[in-house]
Structure formats: structure tokens, C-alpha cells
Amino acid sequence: MEFEHTVSLVVPLFAFFLYTGLMILSIKCSQSKITKLFQYYLLLMMDWSFGSFMMRTGFAPGPVFWNRMMIVGMAGVPFIFYRFSEALLCRAQSLTARLGYFFYVLLIFANFKGLIVQDVILTAEGFDYTLGPLAVTFALTAGGYVLLSTILLVGEAFKNPDSFWTNRLFYPSVGAVLMFIGCTLNLFPAIGKYPLDILTNTINAFLLTYAIYRYQLLNVTISIRKGLVYSVLTAMLTGSYLLLVYLLETVIRNNLGYTAFIVAVMMGAVIALIFEPVKNWLRVRIDKVMFGDIYDYRETLKQFSYLKASILDLEELTYSTLDLLTKALQVNSLALLVLDKESNYFVYASVNIDETVAKTMRLDKTSPIVRRLAQHSPILTWQEIETAPEFQGLWQREKDFLTAMKISLFVGIKLGGELIGILVLPDKASRDPYSDDDRAMLLMLANEAAVAIQNAQIYSEVKRQAVHDELTKLFNYRFFQEFLDKEIARCQRTNQIFSVIYLDLDFFKAYNDIFGHLAGDEALVYVGQAISQSIRPSDIATRLGGDEFGIILPGAGEKSALAVAKSIKNAVQTFFPGTSSDSVLTISQGIATFPVHGQSKQQLLSCADAALYEAKSMGRNRICVYNLQLVKGKTSTDNLHAEFERDFLRQQVEDAYLSVIYTLAAAINAKDNYTYQHSEAVTYYSVAIAEALGFSEEQKKMLRYSAMLHDIGKIGIPEYILNKPAALTKEEREIIESHVLVAEAIVSHTPYLREVAPIILHHHEFYDGSGYPDGLKAEEIPLEARILAIADAYHAMTSDRPYRKGMPPEAALQEMERLAGKQFDPQLLPVFVSIIREQLTKKAAGGTHA
């Protein structure tokens, strides 16, 4: 009995502390309608529990008074709880709620008139009470309102399919049911003398506390909510402590006789041995129940640290991390946006997001979301986006995407102040909001991820560089070889075919010499781009080294490979425009197909190489498919390759000489742009005459070199003489005329160009013998020199010079015709004149230039 009495004292006192704690915390919350109603509810509960405690103690003015005070609280709770339920459901105050206040006033009046409880007497076991005539009315009214609250909350919870609302309403609903039971029990004095009503209400308070924490029942900040839970714990412990002290004191007094010393010692032992461990144990249990997530977070972070240390592949790391997060945060989907080269954030990886949707999600650098994450807080909620004015600049398509995805949270991943990625999280599956702990964990993870992502990016870059050519961004030689091995193995296994194209730039050395290495590198990049544009994603384009490229075309036969090669040729011509004969840069390509031309890697590459050589030897700027008949009489592949190698060496030597020519031409260009342009034009006219005369390719080649270099000797002539506007003095004229000698001297020292030296030396001889340097006449002058003389004179006459204006073409031709047999070969001149006149006619008709 003693124990029951003690319990019946401690429970209301405990409840009072609990409600007081809740009240203090609720005062710190923002004072909204719901908060205020909750406070009224707490106030009434405080009154109820305090009245109940005082009534049981028997303190003055007596149990009847305290009973009346207790009923003031007890009577109000059902009505205010009903209104609280309404407010929770965002409903306006109903007539039922207003009627509730009216009933409350009536019940208070009845209470003080003794119509609810007539009398209360303290007994040894506790207390007895006599119900008044309106006790049943009171119980029915109060119970009815609790029942209405329950129906309201449960009904809404069932009606609303939204899990967030269901969860939010579940705990208040259960609390309401318990309250209803507790109130109903008061109708039976035998049970009602025990504070079961307060007990059920206390449980209700716990449930509300839990709902406040988990489902943001009130607008309480997280720290306050945590504080609230720990306050409840402290209140609980204080109650338990009081109960324990009381029990101990009773046991000691009854069994050992009362001594203050013994009590003090026992209390010390209790506190030392039981209270602290119990407190800690309880705290841990509560942590697990209420803040169980924190444990999960620690686990998540631990796992992420492991991932970070063990995975270097960026893609793998990203997907593993996202997977980890979806589990830890219980989200159905999420995405990681990373920065691209255009400073846009695109979806790099996503979980459970439709690919087409993911592709549409792009945040550019001007997006207010990016700006906020980069410059301010690394965490951004959807609520802020909906409300903060800076987000008024958000585009509709961004809003549509974010709304469709139900994005709830953005977490910026920053490294060294730069926003390198954005983690995008939708609502949780449970619709619970992201707690402070969630955010703290995400922030920690974002910080860690920034370093990990950077490491992985570096690794990925190194990995990419290992198989890529840095200049052209194509694959490199190593990758070509590896892939070829694999492709041969695959095709042998599956009986499939593939082709290889070898591609080489024509006269690339000369191109480099003339235009410089920077331009040469640019040319390689262009060619790389041309190749990339022309192939399928499954094809492998590589730069094998220098100006050589290799392309592997899985599944492609000769025809398909030829089509690709043509496409590349066209693309290169687009980059380097010009006709096939005078294009700035051309390419030659050789094609071999597996297994038709070779069944081993060695054989296949030799065949592709041979085809390339054939293309080169046929005049370059063309494509050859490997064909054994290419090499007359040679059937042995080895012999064939020996032959090719020799020819190739010869070709290399010739290329080297040619590069000398281009270098010399570039030297002229650097000194005097007119001379360079003049040389190009003279080359064009000379070759035109040669073609009309049916010169062989070799003759044309020599003539082309001569024309290109005929004024090379002007390198040694001062510019003031070259560009002098006035007539030249005798000495100056001599200097000018010396340029043929200087040119001859230069080209004579170059073995391959020796053949062109006489042509250059005599291109200023006149047909009648009045020219220089040797005064040769008629047939004594080499044919090529006579051609050169015509081309040279025509271009010089038609060009503007500092000292005179260029003649119109027709006038120049007439003047030249006048000098036929004197200055120019009378046989050759008509050939030239007819060529030019034909071109002029075409030009007049809208054709090409003369």
C-alpha cells in the first residue's frame, strides 16, 4: 500500500516536471497558432498533474480544493486537444471547437459547485472520492471530444495517402486514443483513484515529443528538439530518482530504523552505482530510438572513407557513393552534377533517374542555385528556392525539372573555394524532412568527396593520358596496339572482319618548316578532328606518332573502310581548302582488312603500310586499298616489304629535299611577301604552259621547283633596292641582276636541286641574246628557263609595284606579243597567251581567275 501511494504521488509529480520542461521549450519556439494551442494544452496538463499531486499529499487547503483545481485542467484538455488537432490539419476553428469552449466554461462552473466530484477523502491507501451528479456528463463530454479528436486525426491519416502526413498524424492519434482510455477510467472510482489518466496523458506527451522531433509537428529548431528529448530524459530520471529515494527511505526506516547517516550513505551508493549508469544507459537507448540515424551516419561516413581509400576510378567511386547515400538517407533517387569545361553543371551520375530526364538537367554558372552554393551556404533547400527572392531568376525549365524530380536539397561540393560538384537530393522516401543530422552528414561527406573526386579526376586524367595522345586527343600507339590484339582475337573467335587505315600527312615536314611547328601542331589537331568526325563511336582513331594516324574500324570491310577514308579526306580538305593539286595540306591513306589481307597483326599492319606507300608513290593525296598486284611480280610478302622499304627510303629523301625548297620559299616570304606571291604565281603559270606542252610529271616537278625558287637570290638584295619607287641606278641594277647568280649558288649546293640550277640561272636571258647573265639566245636558253621567263614577265607586268601600277592582263599580253622573238620564245609565247586569254574569257563569263 505504501508503495502504491508512493507511485501515485510520483507519477503526477513526474508528469508535472515533464510538462513544465515541454512548456519552457515550447516558449522558445516561434509563436504560431499550433504552438500556442500546444502551450494551452501543456498548461492544462501542468494544472492537472500538479493538482493531482497536491491532492494526494493532503496539503492545505485540502484535497477537495486541489481536486477542483485538478479538474480545471482535466476538463480543458479534451477541448483544447480537439482544437489542436484541427490546427494540426490546417483547419479553421470549427463550431464543434467553439462549443467545446462553451462546455468547458459550464464544466468549470459545475466543478466549483461540486457537481462533478462531491467530496475527496484522503485514506491510508490513497484517497477516495464521491462523484457528483454531472460526473458522467463531464466524462461523456470530455471523452466525446477526445473521441472526436481521435476520429479527426485517424480519419485524416487514412484519407491522406501522403506518408509524411500519415506519419505526422500517427503519434497524436495514438496519444488521443490513450487519453480517451485514461479519461474513461476515471468513471470507475476503484480504478480512478490511481493516476492512470495522468499516466496515459504522460505517454501522450511522450508521443507528441517524439512526433515533434521526428515529424516537425511544431516549428521547433533541431537543437531545441534535441534539448526537448534530453529534458524529458532528465525529468524521467528525476522522477525515478525521487521514487527511489522515497522507497529507500521507507525501507531503511521500516527495517533498519531511521538514521540520516545511513540514508546519506545509501543515497551516495545509489547515485554512484545506479543513477549514473542508468542515466547513460537510458541516454544511449534514447539516442538509438530517437537519433538512430546518427549511428547510421557514422557508419555511412566510415564506409565512404573506405570507398575513398580503395576506389580510384571516378565513375566507380561516384556510383558507390551515391548508392551509399541512397541507403543511408533512404532516398529513392539522387544525382551528382559536376562542372564541365563550359562552366555548366551537368548530371555526371545519377541513381534511379531517367536518363533522358538527367540529360535535360543542367545548371549554368549564372544559375542562382550555383551562385548561392558557390558563394554562400553549401546547403540549399527547396524551401529556400521557393521563397528567397534571389531565386526569382530561376528559369522555368529549371523549375520544372526540380519540381518533377521533387528536389529537396542541394549540397555543394567545394574544393579550394571552387564549386566542383552539386549533390542533388529529392524528398526522402518517407517524406520526412532532412534533419540537421542529415545535413551535417552530407556536409561532411561533401567535404570528403571533394578531395576524393579530385583524386579520382586526377587518376582518371592520368589513365586517360596513358592511352591518349595529348595533342590530338585521339588514342595513342599503345592503345592502338592493345586494341588491335583484342580485335584480332575477337574477330578470330567470332569470324568477323575489321579494317585498318593508315593515314599520313603529305609533305608534313615541309609544312612544319614553312609554317612553323605551331602551325604543324594545329594541322595535326585538325586532322585528328577530321578523323573523329568521320568515324563511328565504335571505331578507334589513334595517332601513331608524328604525322601518322591509324584507324581501326571494327566490322568494316574494304568498302566501308574506303568510305570512311574518303570522308576523312573530304574533311581534311575542308580544313585545308584548295584544289587537289595545290591544297595546302593533303593526306594519303592505305587500307587493309582482316582477315582478307592479313591474319596476324604484323601482316595486317604491313599491308596497310604498303597500301599507304602505294598512295604516296602515286602522287599522294589519295587512298589505296591493299592489293597484292600493287607490286609487280612480287608475291612474297617479305620481298614486297623489302621493296617497299627501299622505295619508302627514297621517298623520305625526296621529301627531305622538298622540305628544303619550301624552307627556302618560306625564307623569301619572310623577307619579301611580294616575291613569295610572285614565285607562287610564276609556278602556276609555268606549270600551265608545261601541261599544255605535254611535259612529263618529272619535268613538271622540276619546273615547279625552279619557278618556286627562281627569285631565291633576292634574299641577298637589300629591301630598299627591291622596293625602290624610283628608277634604279646602274650599280643597283647590277645588284638586282646578281640575284640569278646567288640563286644558282644556293640551289647548286642542294643535291636534289642541282637540276633546277640552270633553269634559275637563265630565266632572265632574252630570246635575242640581250638578257643576262650570259647573253644566251634562242635554243641556247634551256626550255624551262624560257617558259619561266614568260611566266615571270607576265606576272611582273600585271602586278602593282611601289614604283608603278600593274598593267591590265590584255595589255600585258599585247606587249609580250610585241616582244615575241626579242625577249620571249616566239614558239612558246602563243601557247601561254592562249592559256591566259582562255582563262580571261572564262573569268569574264564568271569562271575562275586568270
**Sign of the CA dihedral with 278 first, then 282, 288, and 289 last:** positive
Considering the complex, state which of residue 35 and residue 85 has its C-beta at the smaller distance from other proteins: 35
d(CA 21, CA 206): 12
Considering the complex, state which of residue 2 and residue 386 has its C-beta at the smaller distance from other proteins: 386
Say if residues 445 and 325 touch (Cβ distance below 8 Å).
yes
Say if residues 776 and 784 touch (Cβ distance below 8 Å).
no
- The answer to whether residue 221 forms part of the interface with other proteins (CB under 8 A) is no
Q: Which of 1, 60, 61, 92 binds other proteins (CB under 8 A)?
A: 92
Considering the complex, state which of residue 33 and residue 837 has its C-beta at the smaller distance from other proteins: 33
Considering the complex, state which of residue 387 and residue 495 has its C-beta at the smaller distance from other proteins: 387
Of 179, 280, 164, 178, the residue nearest 211 (C-alpha)? 164
d(CA 453, CA 451): 5
Could you identify the residue written with the cell 576506389? 311
**Segment 684 to 703, residues that bind other proteins, using CB under 8 A:** none
**Segment 649 to 668, residues that bind other proteins, using CB under 8 A:** none
Considering the complex, state which of residue 37 and residue 178 has its C-beta at the smaller distance from other proteins: 37
Q: Segment contacting other proteins (CB under 8 A): 25-33, 415-423, 579-587, 764-772?
A: 25-33
Instruction: Report which secondary-structure segment, H or E, holds 486.
Output: helix 477-494
Least distance in angstroms from the C-beta of 429 to other proteins? 21
d(CA 608, CA 593): 8
Considering the complex, state which of residue 163 and residue 602 has its C-beta at the smaller distance from other proteins: 163
Burial of 167 (0-12, 13-18, 19+ CB in 10 A): middle
Going by DSSP bridges, is the β-strand pair 334-339/127-131 parallel, antiparallel, or unpaired?
Answer: unpaired
Considering the complex, state which of residue 273 and residue 388 has its C-beta at the smaller distance from other proteins: 388
Our measurement of the distance from residue 731's CA atom to the centroid of its chain's CA atoms, rounded to an integer in Å, reads: 72
d(CA 238, CA 240): 5
Least distance in angstroms from the C-beta of 93 to other proteins? 11
- The answer to whether residue 426 forms part of the interface with other proteins (CB under 8 A) is no
Mark residues 365-394: x for contact with other proteins by CB under 8 A, - for none: -xxx--x-----------x--xxxxx-xx-
Considering the complex, state which of residue 386 and residue 779 has its C-beta at the smaller distance from other proteins: 386
Least distance in angstroms from the C-beta of 135 to other proteins? 38
DSSP state of 627: -
CB atoms within 10 A of CB 559: 12
Considering the complex, state which of residue 26 and residue 542 has its C-beta at the smaller distance from other proteins: 26
Q: Segment contacting other proteins (CB under 8 A): 132-140, 363-371, 744-752, 761-769?
A: 363-371
Considering the complex, state which of residue 399 and residue 486 has its C-beta at the smaller distance from other proteins: 399
- The answer to whether residue 395 forms part of the interface with other proteins (CB under 8 A) is yes
Least distance in angstroms from the C-beta of 278 to other proteins? 38
d(CA 70, CA 624): 106
- Provide CB contacts within 8 A for 799, sequence distance 6+: 674, 678, 806
Least distance in angstroms from the C-beta of 841 to other proteins? 40
d(CA 6, CA 218): 35
Least distance in angstroms from the C-beta of 745 to other proteins? 59
Least distance in angstroms from the C-beta of 98 to other proteins? 16
d(CA 395, CA 415): 27
Q: How many residues bind other proteins (CB under 8 A)?
A: 24
Say if residues 514 and 662 touch (Cβ distance below 8 Å).
yes
Say if residues 652 and 687 touch (Cβ distance below 8 Å).
no
Cis peptide bond prior to 61, omega within 30° of 0: yes
Least distance in angstroms from the C-beta of 397 to other proteins? 8
d(CA 678, CA 669): 10
Considering the complex, state which of residue 178 and residue 370 has its C-beta at the smaller distance from other proteins: 370
Considering the complex, state which of residue 433 and residue 716 has its C-beta at the smaller distance from other proteins: 433
Q: Which three cell numbers stand for residue 21?
A: 520542461
Q: Which of 9, 18, 34, 781 binds other proteins (CB under 8 A)?
A: 34
Of 149, 139, 147, the residue nearest 169 (C-alpha)? 149
Q: Which of 375, 403, 465, 492 binds other proteins (CB under 8 A)?
A: 403
- The answer to whether residue 30 forms part of the interface with other proteins (CB under 8 A) is yes
Considering the complex, state which of residue 93 and residue 673 has its C-beta at the smaller distance from other proteins: 93
- The answer to whether residue 95 forms part of the interface with other proteins (CB under 8 A) is no
DSSP state of 123: -
d(CA 704, CA 619): 15
Considering the complex, state which of residue 54 and residue 424 has its C-beta at the smaller distance from other proteins: 424
Least distance in angstroms from the C-beta of 281 to other proteins? 37
Of 794, 769, 682, 672, the residue nearest 722 (C-alpha)? 672
Q: Which whole-number Å values give the CA distances from 551 to 347, 562, 568, in the listed order? A: 31, 12, 11
Least distance in angstroms from the C-beta of 166 to other proteins? 17
**Segment 180 to 219, residues that bind other proteins, using CB under 8 A:** 219
- The answer to whether residue 90 forms part of the interface with other proteins (CB under 8 A) is yes
- The answer to whether residue 33 forms part of the interface with other proteins (CB under 8 A) is yes
Under DSSP, is residue 430 helix (H, G, I), strand (E, B) or coil?
coil
Least distance in angstroms from the C-beta of 395 to other proteins? 4
Least distance in angstroms from the C-beta of 85 to other proteins? 15
Considering the complex, state which of residue 387 and residue 494 has its C-beta at the smaller distance from other proteins: 387
Least distance in angstroms from the C-beta of 40 to other proteins? 16
Q: Which of 159, 302, 399, 517 binds other proteins (CB under 8 A)?
A: 399
Considering the complex, state which of residue 5 and residue 428 has its C-beta at the smaller distance from other proteins: 428
- Provide CB contacts within 8 A for 707, sequence distance 6+: 679, 682, 683, 685, 686, 687, 788, 791
Instruction: Report which secondary-structure segment, H or E, holds 129.
Output: strand 127-131
Direct distance between the N- and C-terminal alpha carbons of the chain, in angstroms, rounded to an integer = 127
Say if residues 228 and 25 touch (Cβ distance below 8 Å).
yes
Least distance in angstroms from the C-beta of 400 to other proteins? 10
Least distance in angstroms from the C-beta of 406 to other proteins? 12
Say if residues 790 and 689 touch (Cβ distance below 8 Å).
yes
Of 634, 654, 655, the residue nearest 643 (C-alpha)? 634
What's the one-letter identity of residue 484? Answer: L
Least distance in angstroms from the C-beta of 387 to other proteins? 4
Residues near other proteins, by CB under 8 A: 30, 32-35, 90, 92, 219, 366-368, 371, 383, 386-390, 392-393, 395-396, 399, 403
